[in-house]
Amino acid sequence: MQTMTAIDVFFYAFSIGFVILVIVISFTSYHIIKTLQGIKVVIEDVRDTTRDVRTVKNTVKLGVFQIASMALRLFMKKGGEKYAH
């Protein structure tokens, strides 16, 4: 049976350290991926909410303009002659 030399111990220690490093990097990468997937879902929800708010804003703006237009038309038909002089 052969005895282990200092270089053999170094190589075994180096190999074990490398395996541990690969495990830590894999574990960290997995959790970073999961976190980024969660952030992606949140960003998509914000994007959808922004689109919905923009749609509601444009609808309200259009409604206000239509009401103002109708009020102006009624004013011009009925009461515009009173204030024209």
What are the pLDDT digits (tens) for 8-65?
Answer: 999 999 999 999 999 999 999 999 999 999 999 999 999 999 999 999 999 999 999 9
Which sign does the torsion angle of CA 40, 45, 47, 48 carry?
positive
Total domains in the chain come to 1
Name the token pair of 75.
Answer: 């004013």
Query: Is 30 domain-assigned?
Result: yes
Which pLDDT belongs to residue 78? 72
Please check whether residue 51 lies inside any domain of the structure: yes
- CA distances to 30, 47, 56 from 50, in Å: 30, 5, 10
User: Which residues span the domain enclosing 68?
Assistant: 1-78
Whole-angstrom CA distances from 35 to 24, 40, 41 are 17, 9, 10
Residue 83 resides in a domain: no
In a domain, 84, yes or no: no
User: Is residue 85 assigned to a domain?
Assistant: no
The whole-model pTM stands at: 0.56
Domain annotation covers residue 28:
yes
Predicted confidence at residue 84, as pLDDT, reads: 53
